[in-house]
Structure 1
């Protein structure tokens, strides 16, 4: 199938998936070229390619279109004539996760490699020769971008590198991982945030960068929390493991969790909460040491100290109190409520506000 259009259930984000996988090798490049209406596309080499691999997903996000692509080497061009007659009033911001490019935009030379962000005005002439690449692109209208920046002068052909390029790259990688699960409403809000992050990276100001940092951290933290929950029993789970899964630096990850006492502490708390939940679940007969090992604690002593520090009681005390409640007879709902109020009054202050979390994974 050359083109697969995904009609997702109502309310979720629509996307189109194109792949050359099932196209005969000598037709693959032509099939790909037929999908690119904004550019004239030609082979990277003079010889017609015998095989050309491309796999692309495009997500519609209200005022923005996001493209995630793996593609072979080729040449892009917008001729002056095409720019005058067919050029859409759109900007394309392309983050190169892998690959490199070289060419011209307007009268200026453009050149970049992995980690760079290329900015193109699709209503203006350009050409670029590109090696095989993995990219994420965002298409935004002139009007939407002008609302954030005021003037668009000097953007065509801009190469965003170093700090802000890496910043934008981190954000776009995280965004594309979240898109498949987004609703239309969430995507519209995310598009507005994305345009704001782009504006901060191409025209940095303190106010714009503060806005961008907040949204990058929100997206990153949400994604990291999902990975933590999915791997809560995985002994590999650590800040280093999260960095590898997310494709971000330790500094970026730590910044996202700085308001939660750090990512290491967050992982520890979620593991302790998971053990506490199992300990207080009726019918779970596993020993405390079995549960501690299941949730990644290398020694029982380490687990015991961390549990006491978090809840104010030892695991044995919590298990014993739950065993009593599960076997007590004659406790009506109203009696249980009275007992619960009394028992909380004699707990340590620290445990009093933490015990409500026991039983919640």
Structure 2
């Protein structure tokens, strides 16, 4: 049961819809496979629910809600991509109820967790000892080795299948995290990471999918349980996502005089040390902000030769023209006025 301004177009918008297969899903298939966009729409409305029920038969028993008549149609549309270490799914699913008994007919356990991230709709799950009600923005984990029952109402979001073989070192911790609403800064980072991963899947080769699947498993393990070993293993992935979040915030608030590392850390709800680590490779967060401001001011100086230098400095976060001039000269080797004069000469020559 799996579907900024600078972000690539969603992969689902670039894929051709494929009729949802009528046979049950093969959960033993771990070969990386490119994204596909499955849907029940090509089938007559009276058959759509049965197709979905058959597809899910190897995992859970599904049923329409009491108020819904299956012959009226049952729309499901989701992107799915097997990345070997995880199966990534994102899409929309009609309202339904479901149940799972831990011992399948074949007698073998299904060593899989499902990681949900709700974008719209609601999800309810109940086990022997826990009960959750998840709305938009929620993230939670369930195990297919547990008995459970639940329901969703017009769910839109992510569902990642996490095979136990990809998480052998942290299986106990993931089991402890099942059937609770996950929260915290690392969970928010994981949410951002998964959203951006979805936009990249269609561009990846099979080997890249395998590598991304391994990195995603490490990221999930680090963010859901907080062992120091796993945090260190996935630190690079975490810092990459953190850098992207901070970069987008900086781009949006570049002209604010009070755009400081402290403010960014506060707004993103992260520690200053985590922010500093994310920007170490580019010379630090304060230096990054200064360079972005200077480059934006440089572009405006060259393009708008009639605007006052002081006005341009002010628009790009510099309170004093003298501070702007000193920083500009250090960065470009000439003063703002000299740079503008060069631009005017080139324009005249052209």
TM-score normalised over the length of structure 1:
0.63
Q: How far apart, in 2, do the equivalents of 1:180 and 1:286 lie?
A: 40
Q: How far apart, in 2, do the equivalents of 1:204 and 1:81 lie?
A: 30
Partner of 1:33: 53
Instruction: Work out whether residues 60 and 66 of structure 1, in 8 Å CA contact, stay in contact via their aligned partners in 2.
Output: yes
Q: Describe the shift of the 1:144–1:186 C-alpha distance in structure 2 as closer, same or farther (beyond 3 A).
A: same
Query: 66-75 vs 214-223, which deviates more?
Result: 214-223
Q: How far apart, in 2, do the equivalents of 1:15 and 1:253 lie?
A: 36
Instruction: Work out whether residues 121 and 152 of structure 2, in 8 Å CA contact, stay in contact via their aligned partners in 1.
Output: yes
Q: Describe the shift of the 1:149–1:293 C-alpha distance in structure 2 as closer, same or farther (beyond 3 A).
A: same
Instruction: Work out whether residues 182 and 224 of structure 2, in 8 Å CA contact, stay in contact via their aligned partners in 1.
Output: no
Partner of 1:125: 147
Instruction: Work out whether residues 254 and 316 of structure 2, in 8 Å CA contact, stay in contact via their aligned partners in 1.
Output: no
Instruction: Work out whether residues 98 and 151 of structure 2, in 8 Å CA contact, stay in contact via their aligned partners in 1.
Output: yes
The Cα shift of 1:113 comes to 1.0
Instruction: Work out whether residues 117 and 138 of structure 2, in 8 Å CA contact, stay in contact via their aligned partners in 1.
Output: yes
Instruction: Work out whether residues 13 and 183 of structure 1, in 8 Å CA contact, stay in contact via their aligned partners in 2.
Output: no
State the Cα deviation string for residues 181-221 of structure 1 (Å, max 9, x = none): 44444433332232223223443223434555542230343
The Cα shift of 1:301 comes to 8.0
The Cα shift of 1:158 comes to 3.5
Unaligned runs of 5+ in 1: 6-11, 239-248, 329-361
Instruction: Work out whether residues 92 and 121 of structure 1, in 8 Å CA contact, stay in contact via their aligned partners in 2.
Output: yes
The Cα shift of 1:42 comes to 1.0
Partner of 2:158: 136
Q: Does 1:287 align with 2:305?
A: yes
Matches within 5 A, 1:28-107: 28-36=48-56, 37-49=58-70, 50-80=72-102, 82=104, 84-85=106-107, 88-105=110-127, 107=128
Matches within 5 A, 1:192-203: 192-203=214-225
The Cα shift of 1:116 comes to 3.7
Instruction: Work out whether residues 13 and 179 of structure 1, in 8 Å CA contact, stay in contact via their aligned partners in 2.
Output: no
State the Cα deviation string for residues 27-78 of structure 1 (Å, max 9, x = none): 4434443443422211122532534443311122232211112222211222
Q: How far apart, in 2, do the equivalents of 1:183 and 1:295 lie?
A: 45
Matches within 5 A, 1:227-246: none
Instruction: Work out whether residues 76 and 94 of structure 2, in 8 Å CA contact, stay in contact via their aligned partners in 1.
Output: yes
Query: 95-104 vs 264-273, which deviates more?
Result: 264-273
Over the residues paired in the alignment, what is the CA RMSD in angstroms? 4.7
Partner of 2:133: 112
Instruction: Work out whether residues 75 and 93 of structure 2, in 8 Å CA contact, stay in contact via their aligned partners in 1.
Output: yes
The Cα shift of 1:124 comes to 4.3
Larger RCO (CA within 8 A; separation ≥ 6) = 2
- Higher Cα Rg: structure 1 or 2? 1
Query: 123-132 vs 25-34, which deviates more?
Result: 25-34
Partner of 1:177: 199
Q: How far apart, in 2, do the equivalents of 1:152 and 1:251 lie?
A: 24
Corresponding pairs, count: 304
Q: How far apart, in 2, do the equivalents of 1:122 and 1:317 lie?
A: 67
TM-score normalised over the length of structure 2:
0.65
Unaligned runs of 5+ in 2: 1-15, 21-31, 257-266
Q: How far apart, in 2, do the equivalents of 1:60 and 1:291 lie?
A: 54
Q: Describe the shift of the 1:159–1:235 C-alpha distance in structure 2 as closer, same or farther (beyond 3 A).
A: closer
The Cα shift of 1:274 comes to 5.0
